[in-house]
Amino acid sequence: MNNGEMVLDDRIIMHFVATGITPAMVTPKVGTGSSYAFTPHDAKGDYLDGGKTYKVTLPAPIPVNNFWSFMVYSGQHRSMLETDQKLAGLDSNSPSIKPNDDDSYTVWFGPKAPAGQEGNWIQTIPGKSYNVLLRLYGPLEPWFDKTWKPGDFELVK
């Protein structure tokens, strides 16, 4: 809702990406439920390209009560992008993910992991479009009051 008016474009986009919707997804409360940020674009507004490498940084502290995750979905069929990785995403519970020195997290997206970043990398496929959902489970006040926001997808190469 925006000033009492239903924001249909936002609802349509969410239903395109997530075929099921629960109250916890659409009306989360501080510290419970889940919130999502969706993008098919990089920082310049170009569509994400499975043959290119991008990075995105989540500034510290990440405002979650439980955990956060990135999930990569196919631009062709809306399901998780099928790759050689076991999962089409990464979350803060993963034992392989490493924070930066300032406790932020940089996550890499591309066909090959950058050297030394294998634990913070999500595989993409050349020739395949994709979009990304950042999921916050148990989002905290800085998410709601917009004093925290994730970084943009930066094209690396």
Give me the DSSP letters along 102-114: TS-EEEEEESSPP
pLDDT over 70 percentage in the chain: 85
Q: What is the predicted pLDDT for the residue at 17? A: 61
Asked if residue 154 is part of any domain, the answer here is no
At residue 146 the predicted structure's pLDDT band, cuts being 50, 70 and 90, is very high
Q: What is the predicted pLDDT for the residue at 83? A: 83
CATH number at residue 79: 2.60.120.600
Please give the structure tokens belonging to residue 67.
Answer: 């955990």
| Torsion (CA) 94, 97, 102, 106 in degrees, nearest 10 | -110
Asked if residue 1 is part of any domain, the answer here is no
CA–CA separation, 150 and 142 (whole Å): 11
Asked if residue 93 is part of any domain, the answer here is yes
Q: What is the predicted pLDDT for the residue at 36? A: 86
At residue 82 the predicted structure's pLDDT band, cuts being 50, 70 and 90, is confident
Residue owning tokens 């479009």:
129
Domain count, the chain: 1
Predicted TM-score of the model (pTM): 0.84
pLDDT digits (tens, 9 = 90+) for 20-73: 556 656 667 888 888 889 899 999 999 999 999 999 999 999 999 999 999 998
Q: What is the predicted pLDDT for the residue at 11? A: 62
Q: What are the respective helix, strand and coil percentages of the chain, to the nearest 5?
A: 15, 35, 55
**Measured CA distances, 1 to 9, 35, 113 (Å):** 11, 15, 40
pLDDT digits (tens, 9 = 90+) for 45-58: 999 999 999 999 99
Asked if residue 121 is part of any domain, the answer here is yes
Domain that holds residue 124: 8-145
CA–CA separation, 133 and 25 (whole Å): 13
Residue 3: phi, psi to the nearest 5? 55, 45
Asked if residue 33 is part of any domain, the answer here is yes
Q: What is the predicted pLDDT for the residue at 12? A: 65
**Measured CA distances, 91 to 17, 21, 122, 124 (Å):** 19, 21, 10, 16
Asked if residue 155 is part of any domain, the answer here is no
Mean pLDDT of 77-94: 85
Asked if residue 69 is part of any domain, the answer here is yes
CA–CA separation, 62 and 35 (whole Å): 13
Asked if residue 81 is part of any domain, the answer here is yes
Q: What is the predicted pLDDT for the residue at 81? A: 78
